[in-house]
Structures are given as structure tokens and as C-alpha cells.
Amino acid sequence: MASPIYSFVVPIYNEEQTIQELYRRLSVVMDEMDGPVELVLVNDGSRDTSLSQMRNLAQEDKRVCYLSLARNFGHQVAVTAGLNFARGEAIVVLDADLQDPPELIPEMVKQWRQGYHVIYAQRVRRRQESWFKRSCAFIFYRLLNRLTDVKIPNDTGDFCLMDRQIVDLLNRLPERNRYIRGLRAWLGFRQTAIPFERDPRFAGDVKYTFHKSLALAIDSLVSFSKVPLRIAIYLGLFSALIALVMALLVLYWRIAQPNSPVTGFATILIAIFFLGAVQLVSIGILGEYTGRIYEEVKNRPLYTLSEVGGFSTRPAERRSQDYMNIQSAESN
Ligand code: UDP
Ligand code: MG
């Protein structure tokens, strides 16, 4: 196959119910593209039949290639792995559950042809997602924007088309904490949005539990903002101020009304608890940052691969040597 112009990268975690439909809808789009396409499926340690379905697809369709991470590394890492291996000039990232409609891709390509480097899809509406999830997302994106210097567009996910240049730069960013939509915004270049309505999930359960979403939210805040550290300082200053006011009050009572019983017991308890809280919160914030420094310093590879298939050209093979111990990608 000629080297692909377009790469579609899809992270997959226990999506056995959607893969066939995903492939069906993607192949309609792939057939319509004006150049060779490769479909890079990334298995993020699925425990169902996803991987064997991916193998079959790669057998049947030369355009399909796949990587299999050796365990579940999480969505962002799975996408990163896909980006490491994608060979196209324009790379599209989309979810497996068809919440990101593949039919939007030709429109993205149009913008890419006009010279945009990043074309990201921006949700104007989410259908059938819970009220709770929608409001959390709404608040989070706005909060994130207030706290960061990089302008990370509201209500955008990872669904986007990126130019080769952008993906090369992304691949070269050293950090382990990969909040892709943030890094993508940080890179700059010409970026534009395409509005879309987010469809409900095709089948299966949401893989992003509340816990995972919260972790992603904290990750993104900490890796793109130093404001939380400053909040710790403000909290400290604020509690110092309260302490000062209390001290002055006590002094005043002692001098002006020597007989008034300053009921110290409750006051002291409150002060102790308050200070304790401020300190714990501040240490927690510090910990978040230190923990990330620790992660970066360890310098482990982002992921390990247990299997690679369908890639026919050398570069992918060479790259895969870095991540696993098997001899040749072809042998699968
Ligand atoms: N996903 C993944 N690894 C994970 C969790 C999710 O690769 O640990 C994939 C999942 O298969 C899907 C995409 O990431 O293709 C988005 O997940 P999901 O639809 O559950 O989350 P949403 O973004 O809709 O909340
Ligand atoms: Mg989804």
C-alpha cells in the first residue's frame, strides 16, 4: 500500500459491541477519502474480544493496523501510542463508541486543505448524557480556562484532525502526564473548531467512570496551571489574617474588660482545626505537583506493547522495538 495520507486513530477499551459498527461507518468514510487511509486501532488492554476482532479486521482489510498495549494504560496514553505509530499526513483521533461521528471527518479535511493545522470538534450539545456529567463537564471546562494561561477551548474532547507537523511535535513532548487536548492547544499553530452534536454511545458502558474523569480533571489542572499552588499561599495568608484578628480581639478584651472571661477553649479548638485544614490542603496541593515531578523523573516509557499488526512499512516496526520484546511486527 502507498504510504497513507490519512490516519484514523481509535483507542479501544472493551468495545466488542461497537467495533463492527465502527468499522462499517469508518470504511464508508475511508472509501470516500481522496487518498490512501490507514486505520490505527489501539487496544488499551481490553478484557473482551476486542483484540481478536481487531486482528480479524487487519487480516481482511489491508488498511487496518493495530497495536495492543500490554495492559490498560488509560485513554490518553492509548491515543498517544496511536499517534506514535500513525504515518499519515493528516491524523484524525476519534472515540470507538461512535460518539464522535466519523462523517465529520471530510469536513475536517476540507479545513486541513485550507491550511489549518488542528481542526477540533466542539460539542454544541451532548445527547443523552446524564445531567450530572454534563454539568460537571460544563463547570470543569470553564474553571480550567480561568486557571490556565493556555487557551484550551471549552467543550472539546480529543476528536480532532491534526497535521503531521503537530503530531510530530506532540510525539516529541517529553511529559508523561498527557492531557492531549491541552498539549494540542499549547502547541499553537492555526487551529479551528467545527461544531457538532455529540451522539449517545452506540453500545456498552461508559469506560470513563466518575473516578477516571475526576483524575483526568485534576491531571489537566495540575499540568496546565500553577494557580492551585498559589491558592495554598492565599489560604495561608487568609488564616494568618484570621489569627491576627483573633489575637487583637483577645488583647482588647484583656485590656478593656479585664474581668470578662475569654472563653478560650472553643476558640482554640476552632483555630487548631482551621489551621490543620489549611495545612493539609496545602500539603495535598504540593503533593500533587511533587508526585508529578516524581512521575516525570522516573522516565519510564509511557506504555508497553504486547502485539503489533498490520503495519507494513519499516518505521512502525522500528518504533515498536522500543516498546516490546518481540522480534518482528510481521510475525503476528
Ligand atoms: N478508552 C480507553 N481506555 C480507557 C478508557 C476508555 O482506550 O481506559 C477509550 C474507549 O474505548 C473509547 C474512548 O476511550 O473509545 C472514550 O471512552 P468513553 O466513551 O467511555 O468516555 P467518554 O469520553 O464518552 O466519557
Ligand atoms: Mg464515549
pLDDT of residue 111: 92
Alpha carbon dihedral 203, 77, 193, 26, in 10-degree steps, equals -40
Q: Helices 19-32 and 50-60 meet at what angle, rounded to 10? A: 30
Nearest ligand to the CA of 212 is 1
Nearest CA to ligand 1 atom 19: 206
pLDDT of residue 320: 62
Q: What number does the ligand 1 atom closest to the CA of 95 have? A: 15
pLDDT of residue 330: 40
Give the amino acid at 26: L
> What's the CA gap between 192 and 215, in Å, rounded?
27
From 25, 40, 67, 97, the mutation candidate for ligand 1 (largest count of ligand atoms within 8 A of CB) is 97
Q: How many residues does the chain have?
A: 332
pLDDT of residue 318: 55
pLDDT of residue 326: 43
Distance 125 CA to ligand 1 centre (A): 19
Which residues lie across from 37 on neighbouring strands?
A: 6
CB atoms within 10 A of CB 244: 10
Q: What number does the ligand 1 atom closest to the CA of 96 have? A: 15
Q: Classify strands 156-163 and 90-93 as parallel, antiparallel or unpaired.
A: antiparallel
Q: Is the CB of 9 within 6 Å of ligand 1?
A: no
- pLDDT tens for the chain, 332 residues long, are 678 889 999 999 999 999 999 999 999 999 999 989 999 999 999 999 999 999 999 999 989 999 999 999 999 999 999 999 999 999 999 999 888 899 999 999 999 999 999 999 988 876 667 788 788 888 888 887 778 777 778 778 889 999 999 999 999 888 888 888 888 888 888 999 988 888 787 777 777 777 888 888 888 888 778 788 778 778 878 887 887 787 787 778 778 877 766 666 667 777 787 788 778 878 888 888 888 888 888 888 889 888 898 887 555 555 666 666 443 334 33
Distance 73 CA to ligand 1 centre (A): 11
| CATH architecture of structural domain 6-225+302-326 | Alpha-Beta Complex (3.90)
